[in-house]
Amino acid sequence: MKMMRNMKWFCALGLVALLSGCEKKSPESSAPKAIGKKFYWVQPMKGHPVHQMTQIGFREGCKKLGYQVEIIGTDSPDVAGTIALAEQALAKGDAAGIAIWTGSPSWNPFIEKVSKSGLPIILPHFPMPEGSVPGATGIISCDPADYATGAAREIGKAIGGKGSVAITQGSFNSTENMVSESFTKAMKDLYPAVKVLAAEEEGFDAPKAISKAVSILQAHPDVVAALSTTGGGATAWAGAQKEAGRKIVAVGMDYTRVNLDMVKEGRMYAVVGQPLWEESFGAADLLDKIARGEKIPWWTKLPAPFITKDNLAPYYTLLDKVEAAIQR
């Protein structure tokens, strides 16, 4: 009898130990341990002025939330090379989340692979339908269709609803393609007398982009306006107007200081304020929310205002903040 009582006692102790082990493992496996780890920002052409602004925005977001940050990318538009660098960095095992500057389906296999490790993945700047990028957690950006429609309305008004309008893109990617298509449709609907030329690729080399814009002006004497869907487009079209000796209503993208200066000086009519700082800063905030177990919507949508001479001041103030961050 004594022996049987001892066996029952040992079994009870074993059961308590087993249950205690289960209770310890369960919360440990479900609770993220993100604080004190690192968020990664992955982006080709990391030295591009527009991209540098996004990187600073992400850094500031990470700093505010108490995360370390590392920027990964090549100095050229090399997706494969950037992915290789990212894979090396993530192999260190210190990542709490990752933001990837995509714009091309060539990123999708990498995103799906990273997602299997359980890392949250935010895609800033490039809107994509939910489910189209397996493994991605969410996106944060403005709506290109919205700001393209706004640009068509403003440009059409400025040219009196007559003439031809040129479009140039940095490259043919999902976002810029959407802008060109939405702009063309909106212009046709709002100002049917305006002819919109087929989009042409200006690239990311300033002299070549200017040359492309000049060739468009020379080939189409009826062009009275132009829209560039990329951050360097202001330089391209300001330079083309000077070389060709023609003044047109030219609109570019992004509130870099050089672009704002061109608007201020009248060399460009306007730029579209893609929310580069806001979406980059916001990407860090979304990663933090996910790491803490919060649910986020697929698309965090931000506005993109049309910036003319009349509303430059807030963007110069923001750039002062960015430049101060660079100097720290």
Fold of 144-272: Rossmann fold (3.40.50)
**pLDDT tens sequence across 175-202:** 899 999 999 999 999 999 999 999 999 9
The pLDDT of residue 326 is 66
- Interval 231-256: pLDDT, tens: 899 999 999 999 999 999 999 999 98
Sign of CA dihedral 322, 254, 79, 36: positive
For position 189, what pLDDT does the model report?
A: 98
pLDDT, position 139: 98
- State which amino acid sits at residue 250: A
The 8 Å CB, 24+ separation contacts for 135-139 are: 135/111, 136/111, 137/286, 137/290, 137/296, 138/286, 138/290, 138/296, 138/297, 138/298, 138/299, 138/300, 139/298, 139/299, 139/300
For residue 49, is pLDDT > 60? Answer: yes
The model's pLDDT over 261-296, given as tens digits with 9 standing for 90+, comes to 999 999 999 999 989 999 999 999 999 999 999 999
Percent of the chain with pLDDT over 70: 88
For residue 181 the two structure tokens come to 């298509």
DSSP labels, 13-64:
HHHHHHHHHHHHHHHHHHS---TTSEEEEE-SSTTSHHHHHHHHHHHHHHHH
Q: Which of 254, 246, 265, 256 has its CA nearest to residue 309?
A: 265
C-alpha distance from residue 318 to each of 83, 90, 231, 260 (Å): 31, 32, 17, 12
Confidence check: pLDDT of 173 > 60: yes
Residue that has been written with the tokens 């369960």 in this structure: 26
38-125+276-296 topology per CATH: Rossmann fold (3.40.50)
Report pLDDT for 7. Answer: 36
Which of these, 231, 309, 304, lies nearest to 273 by C-alpha position? Answer: 304
The mean pLDDT value of the chain amounts to 88
- Conformation bin of residue 314: beta by default, left when phi > 0, alpha when psi is -120 to 50: alpha
* Predicted confidence (pLDDT) per residue in 90-144, tens digit: 999 999 999 999 988 999 999 999 999 999 999 999 999 999 999 999 999 999 9
* Dihedral pair phi/psi, residue 240, rounded to 5°: -65, -40
Which ranges in the chain are annotated with CATH 3.40.50.2300?
38-125+276-296, 144-272
Q: List 40's β-bridge partners, or say none.
A: 70, 98
Does residue 23 or residue 149 have the better pLDDT? 149
| Confidence bin at 328 (pLDDT 50/70/90) | low
Q: What residues contact 126, with CB distance under 8 A and at least 6 apart? A: 101, 102, 103, 139, 141, 173, 174, 175
User: Is pLDDT above 80 for 33?
Assistant: no
Nearest of 170, 161, 163, 159 to residue 209 by alpha carbon? 170
Beta bridge partners of 138: 122
